[in-house]
Amino acid sequence: MKVLIAGGAGYIGSHCVKIMSEKGYDVVVLDNLSTGHRAAVKEKLYVGDIRDRAFLDDLFAREKVDAVIHFCAKSLVGFSMKEPLDYFHNNVYGTLVLLQAMEKAGVKKIVFSSSAAVYGDHEKMPITEDYPTNPTSTYGETKLMMEKMMKWAEIAHGFKYASLRYFNVAGADPDGTIGEDHRPETHLIPIVLQAALGKREFVEVYGNDYPTPDGTCIRDYIHVVDLIDAHIRALEYLMEGGESEIFNLGSQDGYSVLEIIEAAREVTGIDIKQRIAPRRPGDPAKLVASSEKIERVLGWKPLFGIKEIIRDAWRFHKTHPNGFDS
Ligand code: UFG
């Protein structure tokens, strides 16, 4: 099976490329390298943008792909509030052009990254897929619009899609060759590990007055290797004739910011310093996924817990203190 991995030079996409090629899939990669890293990809890479229809038509003419896994997106909640139109142009318009090119090329199967950000704020945890979607950020709105485009493309053109709503993805491939390298970095686990490396003096804890047991925000962390396993299962499910579905992708376990810092102290053996800072606007107090549906339909279960997530991320950070420039 030949699979186009769009956004395959980014953090999650590059793990997908590596793991799928190790499993024997024929993969072709597309990335505009706006946030991705050329060094993260060993396989055939087409450098271009999904908003460029001519580029996509040419790629689909050259490579007879059976399906697409779509990771291309701007994904920072805070920036999406400052540059909303940029996010719509990149994420929504980009997906629109990709779907048009797929339709023309007769490629009708797509697995794509959605986000827990489509849900907005909810009191009751864990979140199941039938919770109302009320995004509180432009980023979440773009992901919801992408899902809706898929729905109508299915009705009109026979697309089949699997939309995976990620919770907090972290960790790295256990061999330590690829990992998370965002610039700027805003995610908690890499920031904590940068503090362990001495690249930051301390970790700022954004708020300790949330209605949670220790006052800090609770998130559901999932190892990137488990996440890719879910993509492969979703792809195989569609190729076997499965119906379009939306799945949450989380572990059903929640950890607070302070618990993550403490776990990182244990894994690294370093006394990572922390400071309480003001809340970060837009952060919900608690986000935990129900993973009952994906377990029932795809037989997926996470294999890695929080210590393994931090251990594997730490291996990459230690060997790549300057990310892919190391
Ligand atoms: N945090 C800190 N200090 C930091 C960085 C983060 O205290 O320096 C806290 C945040 O306030 C939050 C938690 O750590 O409570 C996790 O923050 P991240 O930035 O790592 O992740 P988010 O939960 O904000 O965002 C993630 C994905 C988004 C996605 C969102 C879904 O990165 O793409 O989940 O809600 F949209």
CA of 122 to the centre of ligand 1 (A): 16
Residue 188 near ligand 1, beta carbon < 6 Å: yes
Burial of 239 (0-12, 13-18, 19+ CB in 10 A): middle
The Cα 300–Cα 125 span in angstroms is 20
HSE of 131, CA atoms in CB hemisphere, 13 A? 25
Q: Which atom of ligand 1 is nearest to the CA of 170?
A: 20
The Cα 311–Cα 294 span in angstroms is 26
Distant-in-sequence, close-in-space partners of 225: CB < 8 Å, separation ≥ 6? 15, 19, 171, 173, 174, 303, 304, 312
Whose CA is closest to atom 14 on ligand 1? 188
Compare 326 and 25 and report the one with higher pLDDT.
25
The Cα 294–Cα 292 span in angstroms is 6
Q: Which of the four pLDDT bands, split at 50, 70 and 90, describes residue 77?
A: confident
Q: What tens digit of pLDDT does each residue of 210-236 get?
A: 999 999 999 999 999 999 999 999 999
Residue 217 near ligand 1, beta carbon < 6 Å: yes
Pairing status of strand 67-70 against strand 245-249 = unpaired
Q: Which of the four pLDDT bands, split at 50, 70 and 90, describes residue 284?
A: confident
- The whole-number pLDDT of residue 292 equals 97
Q: What tens digit of pLDDT does each residue of 234-263 get?
A: 999 999 999 999 999 999 999 999 999 999
Report the mean per-residue pLDDT for the chain.
96
Torsion 131-120-133-91 (CA) sign: negative
25 is catalytic: no
State whether residue 209 is helix, strand or coil.
coil
Which among 262, 170, 250 has a CA at the least distance from the CA of 216? 262
Q: What tens digit of pLDDT does each residue of 295-322 get?
A: 999 999 999 999 999 999 999 999 999 9
Distant-in-sequence, close-in-space partners of 218: CB < 8 Å, separation ≥ 6? 212, 254, 255, 256, 285, 286, 287, 288
Residue 114 near ligand 1, beta carbon < 6 Å: no
